[in-house]
Amino acid sequence: MFQDIEEKLAAAIARQLNAKFGLSLKVTLEQPKQSSFGELAVPVAFQLARQLKRPPKQIAQELASGLGTVEGIASFEIAGNGYINVHLDRARYAAGLLAGSTAAAPDSKEKKIVVEHTNINPNKAAHIGHLRNAILGDTFVRMLRKRGRSVEVQNYIDNTGVQVADVVAAFHRLESKTLADVQTLIDNPSEPFDYICWDLYARISAYYKEAPEALAWRAETLHAIEAGHGAIAELAHVVADAIVKAHIKTMYRLGIEYDVLPRESEILHLQFWAKAFELLKQRAAIYYEEQGKNKGCWVMPSSAFREAAAEADPAAESEDDSKVIVRSNGTVTYVGKDIAYQLWKFGLLGRDFYYRPWSSYPDGHALWVTTDDPTAPVGPGFGHAAKVFNVIDSRQSYLQDVVVAGLRALGFDEQADASVHFSYEMVALSPRTCIEMGIELSEEDKRRPYVEVSGRKGLGVKADDLIDKLIQTALAEVEDRHPESPPDQRRRVAEQIAVGALRYFMLKFTRNSVIAFDFHEALSFEGETGPYVQYAAVRAGNILRKYVDRGGAIPDFNTALTPEALNVFVQSEDLWQLLLLASKADSAIVRAIGSGEPAHVAKYAFQLAQAFNNFYHETSVIAEEDPNKRAALLWLTHYAREQLLATLNVLGIEQPAYM
């Protein structure tokens, strides 16, 4: 409802700007510094003062005088040197919330959005860095769907890349294991296969440094995998699929689901790259290098992406450099395959995958995977997006620029503009968390603000180990507080607290912030944490439950709260501010989508939890003797709880039965 009023006000001011000054500007609204100034502030007069060469206060007065009546707004006033302060019709606003007008009109569902996230190389267990990608992507999907958008979630599987080749070479060359041997390891329940591969990947990475000639193993394995036939290719297929299954299971522990798993093997086998290659050559978007360090390669000229690359990283490439798309040995760089994949996402390639069911989630949602088998069952229509968000860390910014440059070179400017690199910075660990997880640190590392992890070196925290440790720590707290509860219920509560703590920690920072994950900070019941927000929702539920347990009946708020009672209720500044804040959930989501920052929703959840906790400590709801005021307080409790739960759901966080 608040979002609806914001949109109507912005539209009314835009009309005034056009009518009075002949201007077309994007109108921004602000939160006043003090609640007494109203619920919204319009600073547009300051933007216009220099352009119109008039005092901002005069401009503001002229704009406000022509606004007339805007639904839901009681009055406008000019404040300071030119702000237009906006006061809502409080009683009418509360009545609208009571009647159920809580959500802004959803966005159009007509155009599909593709969000690609997670994208872990299927060569070892997922680690903490992968969790930030998956949680950011999943939360952005939830935000979009909350606004009514049609979203397809893709998790790209690079099952033919160097990382997979290294693990396969390690099994084949270092350990002399056959396909049957590896299958036995996969089927062994005593040690997770992705953990075995974690150690093996670190081992072969170290071996390459000791014996560089062994890098020939990587090359021959990579060629065999890309060819797609023979014992080595079959071994790679089995290894990658087994690890993907582990990754899917890990992510589901955090409530993360996908719609389709596009695999690189099908991009190769179904000649996606071959089609893209021909298109790029036809449009002269790439050329064959006859000399220099890139002799024998197909490259994209630097002029195609120099401007975008310079904006992303001025030191990334020199002016004379070019991006290799096909190596001199005929193998395709992954940026080349990414161009083909991006074309497919928009339905521009003229080719499609075949699909088969991979699995079904417990809620019945089907997960599909690509295949090159033309006899596979017909799956849903994937791809053909209007907009694509690629959730990839900031170190890949330059390569994402090259992909977009490839689309532009082919003449697909609209789709290039609709290709968004949803970037983020790395996740490190606090020194005390490293010690908690059994990672040995030097005295120097112990003094650092954070410790970087490296999967290639085997230094890091596996995602499942981190989740297990969080659950174990939360369970100890739950058992101490609620020893009388059944063990399975205590375990479930601990899981919800642990997942809430992890997801919130990953989301509360803006995407361009480096995170130093800390166990104790994440699991704290105080401060800006997931458990703190969950606790507020639990408290609200406890008030309503205790009221019923003591013989009360939750009233029908629509009949119990008369217009007169609502009018009295909204005159209390503290109660009004809590109600107003609780009604801004949709506004927070719209702002977060517009800025591409899920952190804004996390911040809003914390602010609402904080405001409700203040209400909880300062207001006696159940003991209130005035029946009208008690009904209003019960409604405020119920409404704030519903908005908290809805916001937590967007963040992928559940409310435990107790804390």
SS3 (DSSP) at 598: coil
* pLDDT tens-digit map of 103-118: 444 555 569 999 999 9
| Per-position DSSP letters for 204-241, written without gaps between them | HHHHHHH-GGGHHHHHHHHHHHHHT-SHHHHHHHHHHH
* pLDDT at residue 296 tops 50: yes
Tokens of 426: 């790395």
Q: Are 160 and 268 in contact (CB under 8 A)?
A: yes
Q: What is the mean pLDDT of residues 142-155?
A: 97
Distance CA 47, CA 186 (A): 64
Q: What is the mean pLDDT of residues 487-497?
A: 98
Distance CA 552, CA 625 (A): 12
Distance CA 646, CA 642 (A): 6
* pLDDT at residue 38 tops 80: yes
Tokens of 520: 């104790």
pLDDT score at 136: 98
Percent of the chain's residues with pLDDT above 90: 79
Q: The tokens 């490296």 sit on which residue? A: 454
pLDDT score at 315: 47
pLDDT score at 287: 93
Q: Are 56 and 81 in contact (CB under 8 A)?
A: yes
C-alpha 317, offset from chain centre: 30
Tokens of 226: 């890309």
Compute the C-alpha angle 101/106/112, nearest 5°. 165
> Whole-prediction pTM value?
0.92
Q: Checking phi first, is residue 255 left (phi over 0); if not, alpha (psi -120 to 50) or beta?
A: left
Q: What is the mean pLDDT of residues 417-434?
A: 94
Q: What is the mean pLDDT of residues 397-403?
A: 92
Distance CA 228, CA 373 (A): 13
pLDDT score at 24: 84
Q: Are 58 and 530 in contact (CB under 8 A)?
A: no
Distance CA 403, CA 397 (A): 10
Tokens of 614: 């203040």
Tokens of 283: 């449009």
pLDDT score at 307: 55
Q: Are 460 and 121 in contact (CB under 8 A)?
A: no
pLDDT score at 332: 82
* pLDDT tens-digit map of 585-616: 999 999 999 999 999 999 999 999 999 999 99
pLDDT score at 320: 44
Give the pLDDT band (50/70/90) at residue 318. Answer: very low
The sign of the dihedral angle between the CA atoms of 404, 408, 409, 410 is positive
pLDDT score at 338: 93
Short-list 32, 17, 28, CA closest to 64: 17
Q: What is the mean pLDDT of residues 217-222?
A: 94
b/e code 37-48 from CB counts within 10 Å (16+ = b): bbbbbbbbbbbb
* pLDDT tens-digit map of 231-268: 999 999 999 999 999 999 999 999 999 999 999 999 98
pLDDT score at 322: 73
Give the pLDDT band (50/70/90) at residue 312. Answer: very low
